[in-house]
Chain A
Amino acid sequence: MAPTDTYFRHSLKVNDYLCSGCTTCMRICPTAAIRIRGGKAVISDNKCVDCGECLKSCPRKAIYIKQDDFNLIENYGCRVALVPAVFIGQFEEKYKTKDIYACLKKLGFTHIYEVEHSVEFLVDLYKEYMANHPEIRTFISPYCPAVIRLVQVRYPSLVDNIIRLKSPLDVAARAILKKLLDQGIRREAIGIFYVTPCAAKIASVKYPVSNQDTHIAGVINMDFLYNKVKLMLSNSDKDAEAINHTLTPADVLWPLSRGEAANFPGSPYAVDGLQNVIQFLDRLEDDKVDAPGLVELRVCEEGCVGGVLTTQNCFVARKRMENRAKLLARLHHDQQELTYDHTEFSEQIAEQMVIPEIKPRSLYQLDENFGTAFKMAEQMKKIEKELPGINCSACGAPSCAALAEDIVRGDADVNSCIFINRHSEASEAAIRRVWGDCVKSETK
């Protein structure tokens, strides 16, 4: 029996009206999670890791990220925007951070909280975790949620190498919540909203790996908010501040690739870009690379500035953020009184940051029973030999190997290969199941 439980949920959706079933996304998906059914792309929940490659590749913009209705913020008296440093990096340097925050306030937020403010606190937690696990040689950073899911489905043997701690976002959400509760504001009146640069972070908020409440009321796509703010910036005359103190230069650099690694000793590996991460994990799994200490892995190029919901070229945004970090360093140097307040991060929050368990979810395993899996693997090998091996995708699977697997799993029919029995009625029916009415009947 193949596992039928859905243990992952996603925010990546296919717009059936726009999708033409062109197979572009299906061929690019790193976990072979997409099939064409009824002429449309269908994403498998248990295989998808939220990397967003499908969305990036879609020529018809038929793949989108479901976000919360912006008007949802009106349900709360206290409306907090959790803003990641990448958002500021979307705007030209001529706009000051304070101008951008002023726009967010005009849009309806009552408080702005900078997410990466918690980085220093979290780095200490990571270091403590690593010291407490001397039996582990390589520690995979849990920062990129797509990496966690990728490891779960493709590299189950490395699951124990992931640091079981939550991200700066989780720390930030709890810290701001506590601060507001301490001010006597009722819980029901507080709505915390996160501005996300990618699909994986939405999924990590909506469907966290630990199944614990994230305290976040909603998620707003960064590109959506960028458009709103950009429109207002040109005639903005006010400025506003975030309620937490200014970020440190290290905080601002954290979301960029190498920004996390810089906080740890021994010049750790910092790998960015999906294919690079896959290659690296392949080697790590086989002991072909020795990576003592932390490894920073980011599915997007250049880190979070490469997220699918960002609006700027990742290198441009990176430069802006580096400039901002330099500016902050200078400010800090010039004004001795500028101190960073980390008092809101308590012991209590530290305890809540532990992820109790990360389960391996192998997408390769054919069956839980070795004997059954063995028979299926044998059959798969046999079927694969029969298939043409040209990976044309006309069957609705990304490759001949994937079709062979679908067949033994009972999810596809061998007749859906257009090279097998290609003039039989069974073949035509199978092709029609995949491609719908775009297949013309053969007239002889």
Chain B
Amino acid sequence: MHYTFTIEQGNFTDAGQASSSVKRTLKQLGVDPANIKRTVVALFEAEINAVAHAYGGTIDVDIDDGKIVMVVADQGPGIPNIDLAMQEGWSTASAKVREMGYGAGMGLPNIKKNTDDLKIDTKIGVGTTLTMTVNLV
């Protein structure tokens, strides 16, 4: 099953629609609540990352064979140092983003923690693509 969503830069109010929609589907499939939560938390974090740091992007979700693969691709500045970005508390978020309660430097570490596989493809000045996999059964 395939789902596509678009991400709008700076629109925190509407962020979370992708994760809500995915949550509903996973509930229909009777997926274990703990796995639903992992999926939703990871997807929401990735969505917020793209809203806060990039100039928009797309989310592609595929559910099949007992696993969910979520690809969040943004057109943004890219991540200059992935090792640093993976550290808890490290953030390049702007003051404005922090004021909204985001930018605590927990995004990528939290995604890593909640997924079974995480691939990060990033190119400075072009964008970042996260490929997240969660085993559902």
- State the A residues within 8 Å of B (CB): 156-157, 282, 285-288, 360, 362, 364-368, 370, 373-374, 376-378, 380-381
> Who on chain A is nearest to B64 by CB?
A374
Q: Does B92 contact A (CB under 8 A)?
A: no
B30 and A286 within 8 A (CB)? no
What are 25 A-B pairs at a CB distance below 8 A?
Answer: A156-B33, A157-B36, A285-B23, A286-B19, A286-B37, A286-B40, A286-B41, A286-B44, A288-B16, A360-B33, A362-B27, A362-B30, A364-B24, A364-B27, A365-B27, A365-B28, A365-B29, A366-B28, A370-B66, A370-B136, A373-B28, A374-B1, A377-B25, A378-B1, A380-B28
Query: What bracket does the count of chain B residues touching chain A fall in?
Result: 20 to 34
Residues of B near any A CB (own CB < 8 A): 1, 16, 19-20, 23-25, 27-31, 33-34, 36-37, 40-41, 44, 63, 66, 136-137
Judge whether A288 and B29 touch: CB under 8 Å: no
Contact partners of B27 in chain A: CB under 8 A: 362, 364-365
CB distance from B30 to the nearest CB of A (A): 4
CB proximity of B62 to chain A, nearest CB, Å: 12
CB <8 Å contact, B23 and A286? yes
Residues of B within 8 A of A288 (CB): 16, 44
B124 to chain A, nearest CB (A): 31
Q: What is the CB-to-nearest-CB distance from B25 to chain A, in angstroms, rounded to a whole number? A: 6
- Asked whether, in the complex, the Cβ of A364 is within 8 Å of the Cβ of B28, the reply is yes
Q: When the two chains form their complex, are residues B29 and A374 in contact, meaning their CB atoms are under 8 A apart?
A: yes
Majority SS of interface residues in chain A?
A: helix
In the complex formed, the residue of A with least CB distance to B32 is A157
Give the Cβ gap from B19 to chain A, nearest Cβ, in Å. 7
Is the beta-carbon distance between A381 and B28 smaller than 8 angstroms? no
Q: B37 and A370: CB pair below 8 A?
A: no
Task: Kindly report which residue of chain B lies nearest to residue A365, judged by CB atoms.
Answer: B30
Question: Would you give the shortest CB distance from A190 to chain B, in whole angstroms?
Answer: 43
Cross-chain contact A377 with B29 (CB below 8 angstroms): yes
Chain A residue nearest to B136 (CB atoms) is A370
Q: Which of B29, B31, B37, B136 contacts A285 (CB 8 A)?
A: B37
Bound-complex Cα distance A416 to B36 (A): 33
Residue A381 contacts which of B1, B19, B41, B44 (CB distance < 8 angstroms)?
B1
For the complex, give the distance between the alpha carbons of A286 and B20 in Å. 9
A370 and B41 contacting across the interface, CB-CB below 8 Å:
no
Closest residue on chain A to residue B110 by CB atoms: A287
Report the separation of the CA atoms of residues A282 and B40 in the bound assembly, to the nearest whole angstrom. 11
Nearest chain-B residue to A154 (Cβ)?
A: B27
Q: Within the complex, what minimum Cβ distance (angstroms) separates A347 from chain B?
A: 35
Task: Report how far A368 CA is from B29 CA in the complex, Å.
Answer: 8
Q: Report the minimal beta-carbon distance from B40 to chain A, rounded to whole angstroms.
A: 5
Instruction: Tell me how far the C-beta of B95 lies from the nearest C-beta in chain A, rounded to whole angstroms.
Output: 22
Do A287 and B30 touch across chains, with their CB atoms under 8 A apart? Answer: no
Structural contact, B30 and A373, CB atoms closer than 8 A: yes
Chain B: CB-nearest residue to A368: B30
The CA-CA distance from A405 to B26 in the complex, in Å, is: 14
Q: Which residue of B lies closest to A401 (CB)?
A: B24
Q: A285 vs B41: C-alpha distance in the bound complex, in angstroms?
A: 10
Sample of 7 further A-B pairs with CB below 8 A, known A157-B36, A285-B23, A286-B37: A286-B19, A287-B37, A365-B30, A370-B29, A370-B31, A370-B136, A374-B1
Are B37 and A366 neighbours in the complex by a CB distance under 8 Å?
no
Given A365-B27, A366-B28, is A377 in contact with B19 using a C-beta cutoff of 8 Å?
A: no
Contacts of B136 in A (CB 8 A): 370
Known interface pairs A287-B41, A374-B1, A381-B1; A157-B33 also in contact (CB < 8 Å):
yes
Give every chain B residue within 8 A of A364 (Cβ-Cβ). Answer: 24, 27-28
Most chain B Cβ neighbours within 10 Å, of A370, A374, A376 = A374
Q: A286-B41, A287-B37, A370-B137 are in contact. Are A377 and B28 (CB under 8 A)?
A: yes
